C-alpha cells in the first residue's frame, strides 16, 4: 500500500480537521510532519503539513476536500452566543481606559514597571475626574 499526498496545509490544526473529516467518510489518512511542526511552530509554514492517504482513495479524498471547501457540507446552525450587554460593554471599556491611563497594562505580569510620563498624566486626569465627580455629587446631595 503506497501513500500519496492528498493535500498540504499551513496549519497543523487545519490538517487535523481535514483528517477528521475524511475519517468520518471512511478514508484513511495520516498527518505527517506533526512532530517537527508542534515542537517548532515556525516550521509549519516552512515545511507545510502533508495529509497522506492511500493511493486508491486519493481521488475520492481530494474530491471530498474540494466539495467541503465550497461549503457543500456546511450547516446553518447559527450562533448560540448572545451579544454583550450594553452595561457590560461600558464597564469593560471603562476598565480598559483605566488600565491604559494608570499604566496597569496586563495585570498578570510579574515584572514591576515604573510609570512613564503618559501614565502619570493619565492618572492625574483620572484623579481630577474622580475628585470633580465627588464634589459635584456632594453639592447635589447637600443642596437637596
What is the per-residue pLDDT across 57-81, written as a single tens digit (0 to 9) for each? 999 999 999 999 998 888 877 767 7
- Kindly report each contact of residues 123-126 with a partner whose C-beta sits within 8 Å and lies 24 or more positions away, as own/partner: 125/101, 126/98, 126/101, 126/102
Tell me what pLDDT residue 62 has: 95
Distance separating alpha carbons of residues 7 and 66, to the nearest angstrom: 10
Question: Is this model's pTM higher than 0.85 or not?
Answer: no
Average pLDDT, the chain: 83
Percent with pLDDT over 70 in the chain: 87
pLDDT band at residue 105 under the 50/70/90 scheme: low
Amino acid at each position: 500500500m503506497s501513500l500519496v499526498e492528498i493535500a498540504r496545509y499551513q496549519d497543523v490544526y487545519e490538517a487535523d480537521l481535514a483528517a477528521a473529516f475524511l475519517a468520518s467518510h471512511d478514508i484513511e489518512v495520516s498527518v505527517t510532519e506533526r512532530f517537527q511542526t508542534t515542537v517548532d511552530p515556525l516550521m509549519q509554514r516552512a515545511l507545510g503539513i502533508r495529509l497522506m492517504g492511500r493511493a486508491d482513495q486519493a481521488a475520492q479524498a481530494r474530491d471530498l476536500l474540494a466539495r467541503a471547501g465550497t461549503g457543500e457540507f456546511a450547516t446553518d446552525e447559527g450562533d448560540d452566543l448572545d451579544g454583550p450587554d450594553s452595561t457590560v460593554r461600558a464597564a469593560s471599556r471603562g476598565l480598559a481606559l483605566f488600565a491604559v491611563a494608570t499604566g496597569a497594562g496586563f495585570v498578570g505580569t510579574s515584572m514591576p514597571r515604573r510609570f512613564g510620563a503618559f501614565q502619570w498624566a493619565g492618572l492625574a486626569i483620572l484623579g481630577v475626574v474622580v475628585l470633580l465627580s465627588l464634589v459635584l455629587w456632594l453639592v447635589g446631595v447637600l443642596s437637596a
